[in-house]
């Protein structure tokens, strides 16, 4: 099956843009499957993809906490050693919200790369009941912790914003 990810260049350097675009592909998959258009993955220090996750709002029975980033952090903390997670990077189609940033922090993940900013997402979604966005950047959450989490983003923000275009306006609020 063609997953739309393509092949990665053969170099040794970790390719943040390639891995972030892979998270974008997961977001498109989430949307096709009836979930909110968000995707995230965890890559090891060598760039090898370890965990992939789409948003789980609909597939998890309307669970408002089933964000792709939180689900990645939970899976990672259950299966991978903390010392190893400190060397890993979570790639997300959108900036992790406060809840997801907390999960990333407590799981011990050392680095985050994201596409669309939380503020940019809030501007697109408005006051939608299924996405009550907080204007609280993940950097602010991480800054309050006792250990550093490196953050890169927004990156490829216009491309990331396209994942959300027309999705929220067409969703009926219950």
DSSP string, 115-168: EE-HHHHHHHH-S-TT----S--HHHHHHTSSS--EEE---SHHHHHHTTTTTT
Encode the chain (174 residues) as per-residue pLDDT tens digits. Answer: 334 444 444 444 689 999 999 999 999 999 999 999 999 999 999 999 999 999 998 888 888 899 999 999 999 999 999 999 999 999 999 999 999 999 999 999 999 999 999 998 888 877 777 777 788 999 999 999 999 999 999 999 999 999 988 887 766 454
Whole-prediction pTM value?
Answer: 0.89
Homologous superfamily, domain 16-168: Cytidine Deaminase, domain 2 (3.40.140.10)
pLDDT of residue 13: 62
pLDDT at 61: 83
The residues assigned a catalytic role are: 69
Between CA 154 and CA 43 the distance in angstroms is 18
- Whether 94 and 118 have beta carbons less than 8 Å apart is answered as yes
Q: Label residue 30 exposed, middle or buried (CB < 10 Å: 0-12, 13-18, 19+).
A: buried
């Amino acid at each position: 099956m063609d997953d739309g990810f393509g092949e990665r260049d053969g170099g040794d350097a970790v390719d943040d843009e390639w891995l972030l675009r892979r998270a974008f592909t997961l977001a498109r998959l989430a949307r096709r499957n009836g979930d909110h258009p968000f995707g995230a993955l965890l890559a090891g220090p060598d760039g090898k993809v370890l965990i992939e996750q789409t948003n789980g709002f609909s597939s998890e029975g309307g669970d408002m906490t089933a964000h792709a980033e939180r689900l990645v952090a939970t899976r990672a903390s259950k299966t991978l050693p903390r010392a190893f997670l400190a060397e890993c990077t979570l790639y997300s189609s959108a900036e992790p919200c406060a809840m997801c940033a907390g999960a990333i922090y407590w799981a011990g993940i050392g680095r985050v790369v994201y596409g669309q900013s939380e503020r940019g997402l809030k501007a697109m979604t408005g006051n939608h009941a299924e996405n009550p966005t907080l204007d609280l950047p993940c950097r602010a959450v991480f800054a309050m912790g006792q250990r550093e989490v490196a953050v890169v983003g927004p990156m490829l923000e216009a491309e990331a914003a396209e994942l959300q275009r027309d999705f929220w306006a067409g969703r009926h609020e219950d």
